A = this chain, B = another copy of it.
């Protein structure tokens, strides 16, 4: 699928969805829409992803099949300044795909225009309407299930899941990501945004995803939030118990010592926090924290090495920066013996 990605005024730093699609999806990205960087290129900002021109709006974008909304403001609203590009995309016959709380399909003007031009509006954050409570059976799947967990939102759980998937595929394993949030869903083309599921059914929705993907060798379930987050721990707990993972990977951004947006709350000691995840898992699936991922993007090489050493000492398991360094040792730590690399 050829796609354009809308990321006005936020590419790349605050456009997590856009960056994830560029890095991990199979889509062919024809353009990124960001009026503040028009005329530049994706690889001016991001190395090692597919390149594309950055343009001011749909009028300057090459032919494509869909427009993806690649930014998610706090609160999940749809910004009025995006309307002309969405209208232009629909008029050109493109589908529109968004992961916002505010739904495209609740916007009468978009719905009418889409019908007129015979294109689809996809709100990937909207969960299926036939969800129910968990049966407690996800642990019975044959696939080896690895869950990324972390110290906060935006701590590298989705990136970690996709990096581990790619490394597992390079070894010839049949690996898949189980997407639980809008960006992961946009990248992988399936999944459920667990944060939008009513809380009684959130574990059940996660269980359904794991069971749907059970025929792969290895599943990397994308975690959400953090287990002691003041606002989002319910989502995290539902995924931890609904997925019934075999193994946990603990994710953190170096230097991030307060909960984002909730600065009154400190991020707990990493060793203690990893143990809390294990204690929460123990009565249900017994998963342990077998590896750690650290985002060292803001550090120079020497600082990153020091930070990784300290992180590994705290956790007592193999750690790496999955974007900067080799994720192999972490993959070995979370896979069962028959899937490990031969040395």
Contact = CB atoms under 8 A, between A and B. Distances in A.
Nearest to A229: B241
B283 A228 contact: yes
**Central interface residue in A199, A238, A268, by most chain B CB within 10 Å:** A199
Contacts of A143: none
A198 interface: yes
Nearest to A280: B228
In this complex, the interface size class of chain A, counting residues with CB under 8 Å from chain B, is: 35 or more
A66 interface: no
A132 B233 CA distance: 15
A198 B195 contact: yes
Contacts of A237: 227, 233-234, 236-237
Contacts of A136: 230-231, 262, 264-265
Interface in A186-238: 194-200, 202-204, 227-238
Contacts of A133: 231-232
Contacts of A234: 199, 202-203, 234-238, 241
A199 B238 contact: yes
Nearest to A285: B230
A284 interface: yes
A238 B233 contact: yes
Interface string A90-103: 00000000000000
A276 interface: yes
Contacts of A198: 195-199
Contacts of A268: 282-283
A133 B75 CA distance: 8
Nearest to A261: B136
Given A198-B198, A266-B283, A283-B265, A203 B227 contact: no
**Central interface residue in A134, A237, A268, A282, by most chain B CB within 10 Å:** A237
Interface in A236-286: 236-238, 240-242, 244, 262, 264-266, 268, 276, 279-280, 282-284
Given A235-B234, A241-B228, A284-B228, A195 B203 contact: no
Contacts of A231: 133-136, 203-204, 241-242
A302 to B, nearest CB: 31
A258 to B, nearest CB: 11
A49 to B, nearest CB: 29
Nearest to A203: B231
A131 to B, nearest CB: 11
A142 to B, nearest CB: 17
A261 B132 CA distance: 15
A129 to B, nearest CB: 13
26 contacts: A75-B132, A133-B231, A136-B265, A196-B198, A196-B200, A197-B199, A199-B234, A199-B235, A202-B234, A203-B234, A204-B231, A227-B237, A228-B241, A228-B280, A228-B282, A228-B283, A228-B284, A231-B242, A233-B241, A233-B280, A234-B236, A234-B237, A234-B238, A236-B237, A265-B284, A280-B280
